[in-house]
């Protein structure tokens, strides 16, 4: 009989998960998911639960991009510019987390709201770092495409 672990899709997914989470982008997305969950728990425990919408949305978007990059769907669907999509996701997440967290920390309130604001500031910095890495990747791919398409005989 054939080995069932090698042929099963769940074994393949677990191997992809283990190998992708060891990459810098995979670890960064996993950290974003984790910090969004912590912020969500803090805001949900607070009497000001309205700020949890940012954590929910950004966590869902991070999970979606984690799965897309882990399963390498970004290579199959070339019609979408995945680096730009990920860059905009991260920059919007950084902005929203920084704004809502500053409002939570400055506005005071109960301890859970302040804790959610502090963790939200950490999440904003993490999302900003992700957007910076995305910017560097986009910049590197532009330079790579520019050197690959230039003609050395034309003197450009």
Q: In this structure, is residue 100 part of a structural domain? A: yes
Q: In this structure, is residue 117 part of a structural domain? A: yes
Q: Residue 77: which of 64, 94, 88, 92 has the closest Cα?
A: 64
Q: What is the helix (H) or strand (E) element at residue 108, kind and residue range? A: none
pLDDT, residue 110, reads 86
Q: Cβ contacts of residue 129 below 8 Å, gap of 6+?
A: 28
By the 10 Å C-beta count (0-12 exposed, 13-18 middle, 19+ buried), 98 is classed as middle
pLDDT at 147 over 80: no
Q: In this structure, is residue 2 part of a structural domain? A: no
pLDDT, residue 64, reads 94
Q: Which CATH number goes with the domain that contains 136?
A: 1.20.1270
In the structure, what pLDDT confidence band is assigned to residue 9 with cuts at 50, 70 and 90?
low
Task: Give the pLDDT confidence of 61-93 residue by residue, as tens digits.
Answer: 999 999 998 888 888 888 888 889 999 999 999
Q: In this structure, is residue 148 part of a structural domain? A: no
Angle between helices 9-21 and 52-70 (to 10 degrees): 110
> How far is residue 55's CA from residue 42's CA, in Å, rounded to a whole number?
10
> How far is residue 137's CA from residue 143's CA, in Å, rounded to a whole number?
10
pTM score over 0.85 = no
Q: Please tell me the total count of domains within the chain.
A: 1
Task: Give the pLDDT confidence of 12-63 residue by residue, as tens digits.
Answer: 888 888 888 899 989 999 999 999 999 999 999 988 777 889 999 999 999 9
Domain assignment of residue 32, given as a range? 23-71+80-141
């Amino acid at each position: 009989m054939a080995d069932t672990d090698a042929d099963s899709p769940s074994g393949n997914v677990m191997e992809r998960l283990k190998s992708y989470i060891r990459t810098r982008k995979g670890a960064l997305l996993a950290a974003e998911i984790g910090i969004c969950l912590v912020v969500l728990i803090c805001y949900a425990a607070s009497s000001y639960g309205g700020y949890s919408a940012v954590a929910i949305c950004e966590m869902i978007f991070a999970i979606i991009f984690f799965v897309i990059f882990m399963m390498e769907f970004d290579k199959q669907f070339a019609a979408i510019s995945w680096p730009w999509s990920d860059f905009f996701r991260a920059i919007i997440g950084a902005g929203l987390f920084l704004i809502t967290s500053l409002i939570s920390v400055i506005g005071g309130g109960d301890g859970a709201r302040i804790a959610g604001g502090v963790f939200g500031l950490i999440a904003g910095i993490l999302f900003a770092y992700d957007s910076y890495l995305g910017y560097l990747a986009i910049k590197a791919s532009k330079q790579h495409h520019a050197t690959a398409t230039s003609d050395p005989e034309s003197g450009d």
